[in-house]
Chain A
Amino acid sequence: MKVLVPIKRVVDYNVKVRVKADNTGVDLANVKMAMNPFCEIAVEEAVRLKEKGVVTEIIAVTVGSKAAQEQLRTAMALGADRSILIETEEDAQPLAIAKALKAIVEKEQPQLVILGKQAIDGDNSQTGQMLAALTGMAQGTFASEVVVEGDKVKVTREVDGGFQTVELKLPAVVTTDLRLNEPRYASLPNIMKAKKKPLDTVSGADLGVDFAPRTKTLKVEAPAARSAGIKVASVEELVSKLKNEAKVI
């Protein structure tokens, strides 16, 4: 079966972003970009399913600018067979992204779509669920285990109280949580091979999707800074401060 893996180009997770002085957004100039970590987990899961013989083809797809080709190449170096760039310069929101992905789902007819549970830039955690709704597919979000059995998939999900396991009819949408797997690194030969794998570009407009955000960002500010605290010399001093100064115990 075919698997579609939507991925996102985001600021590298090690970067502490700064808000722009004019409060219009965060400063992305000269900042290291990478594949969203949850998307790496999604690619890895697809590759493992292919290694198990469950999956025959992995297609990586992203909605973004030309620069996002870099992350598609990474996905192919990690094991995706081909990829699709849905090109737009707009700061597309999850609903529009899900609509664009729906068009690809209709064309490619994957049995499984594996996304990250959350993009670490916007922290939205929406796209997979929206795609599932728009295509009428079942969903297994925040997955820590995915087992394909015939025309069904069993997904164990990380929930607030522990774990929940659900069974979904294929085709289905899965979103990855941290414990699903530990992504591999791309080897140099695979990075070279990925350069020759097919990367198609379609313009977002051709899919008939309006990417202009309907939610307006009025301003972006730095969070309130915490005032600097103090170092205490001993447990005794700590307990005394907590009792008498902070009055929290």
Chain B
Amino acid sequence: MGILVYAEHDNSTIKGATLNVVTAAAKIGGDITVLVAGKGCGAAAEAAAKIAGVSKVLVADNDAYGHQLAENVADLVAELGKGYSHILIPATTTGKNFAPRVAALLDAEQISEIITVESADTFKRPIYAGNAIATVQSSDSVKVITVRATGFDAAAAEGGSASVEAVDVAKDAGVSSFVSEELAKSDRPELTAAKVVISGGRGMQNGDNFEMLYKVADKLGAAVGASRAAVDAGFVPNDMQVGQTGKIVAPQLYIAIGISGAIQHLAGMKDSKVIVAINKDEEAPIFQVADYGLVADLFDAVPELEKQI
């Protein structure tokens, strides 16, 4: 048996979360095969072959997988996955979209968003917005698992020399098609990969005021995030939401500006190494998790912060 890791990629490069999943696979133990499914994804496959600890890369290069449509990708992964003891998939929106389909096709109960590997069949995962951590044991013969990247270090992207093998399996379920996408372009680091994250909440009042956070972010090489309230109010796009139902981040430094600290927000950032909160309400729950709290009006404090760093 062995472990099949699904690579998240953009056809030319491997996305960071994949490296954390490889580490989770190494903790389980066994030969690690990485599957790269896409269209024109040869470069991504070459990159996957260099990841330390990977013994084989399978490339499924076909129109059907070009936009990672769940119906097609799940059929592919379920078919290839039968021969493995574990199928590990990054808990990104791409992974979460198709992984449960794979599990259902294999009649397995998926284990979502593991944060530790206790043994080959036992894992820890947060439930109730991270207010509880469950240790679960799977009895399924093929274990379908999504991996929360913040739970595992990244495997080295270089150093491996896996063999690369093409798989000629074209699965087009024919029920869905890609229409368009609108992807945010930013020169700042990706939220889930950044060492520093600065997030704004409803206290920011409008989208223009986020400019203050971008300035601080650019000085610190940080990514910018937001609370749900800031997204719902239209200050910033949805892909900036941090929390239980948004992105999970665990940077070296998380700075929460004008965010009250609802449990759903904390669920997405409370594993950060150092947490800073700036809020004018000294009772705000965010201060209960903050290492450094500053009770201040953000419109004074943030420009001052920008000056001093």
Contact = CB atoms under 8 A, between A and B. Distances in A.
B13 interface: no
Interface in A1-52: 11, 13, 16-19, 26, 38
B252 A120 contact: no
Interface in B120-159: 122, 126-140
Contacts of B93: 142, 157-160
Interface string A119-155: 0111111111111111011111110100000000010
Contacts of A249: 196, 220, 253, 309
A79 B154 CA distance: 48
A85 B103 CA distance: 25
B244 interface: yes
Contacts of B264: 13
B294 A248 contact: no
Given A120-B244, A163-B182, A220-B134, A238 B128 contact: no
Given A123-B244, A141-B70, A216 B136 contact: yes
A158 B125 CA distance: 24
Given A216-B136, A229-B275, A235-B304, A178 B228 contact: yes
Nearest to B191: A160
B293 interface: yes
B142 to A, nearest CB: 12
A221 B309 contact: no
Interface string A215-249: 11111111100101111101110110110001011
A234 B296 CA distance: 8
B107 interface: yes
A19 to B, nearest CB: 5
B294 A95 contact: no
Contacts of B12: none
Contacts of B220: 249
A44 B107 CA distance: 31
Interface in B149-203: 173-184, 192, 196
A134 B94 CA distance: 20
A161 B183 contact: yes
A213 B109 contact: yes
A218 B305 contact: no
Contacts of B55: none
A127 to B, nearest CB: 8
Interface residues of B, number: 90
B128 A165 contact: no
A141 B101 CA distance: 12
Interface in A87-140: 93-95, 98, 117-118, 120-134, 136-140
B74 A133 contact: yes
A162 interface: yes
Nearest to B178: A166
Interface string A58-88: 0000000000000000000000000000000
Interface string B219-237: 0100000001001100001
B258 to A, nearest CB: 15
B204 to A, nearest CB: 17
Contacts of A246: 253, 274, 291-292
Interface stretch (B28-36, B37-45, B110-118): B110-118
A179 interface: yes
A235 B133 CA distance: 35
Nearest to A230: B292
A130 B282 CA distance: 45
A239 B177 contact: no
A123 B113 contact: yes
Given A141-B70, A232-B293, 4 more contacts: A121-B128, A126-B99, A160-B247, A165-B178
27 contacts: A17-B132, A19-B131, A26-B132, A38-B245, A95-B110, A123-B127, A128-B100, A131-B104, A132-B70, A133-B74, A133-B102, A134-B104, A162-B238, A163-B183, A166-B67, A166-B177, A178-B228, A179-B231, A214-B138, A215-B111, A218-B136, A230-B292, A231-B294, A235-B296, A235-B304, A238-B292, A238-B294
Interface of A: 11, 13, 16-19, 26, 38, 93-95, 98, 117-118, 120-134, 136-142, 144, 154, 157-169, 172, 177-179, 213-223, 226, 228-232, 234-236, 238-239, 241-242, 246, 248-249
Interface of B: 67, 69-71, 74, 92-94, 96-105, 107-113, 122, 126-140, 173-184, 192, 196, 220, 228, 231-232, 237-239, 244-245, 247, 252-253, 263-264, 270, 273-276, 282, 287-296, 301, 304-305, 308-309
For the complex of A and B, the 5 pairs showing the least CB-CB separation, nearest first, are A129-B100, A138-B175, A229-B291, A126-B100, A133-B104
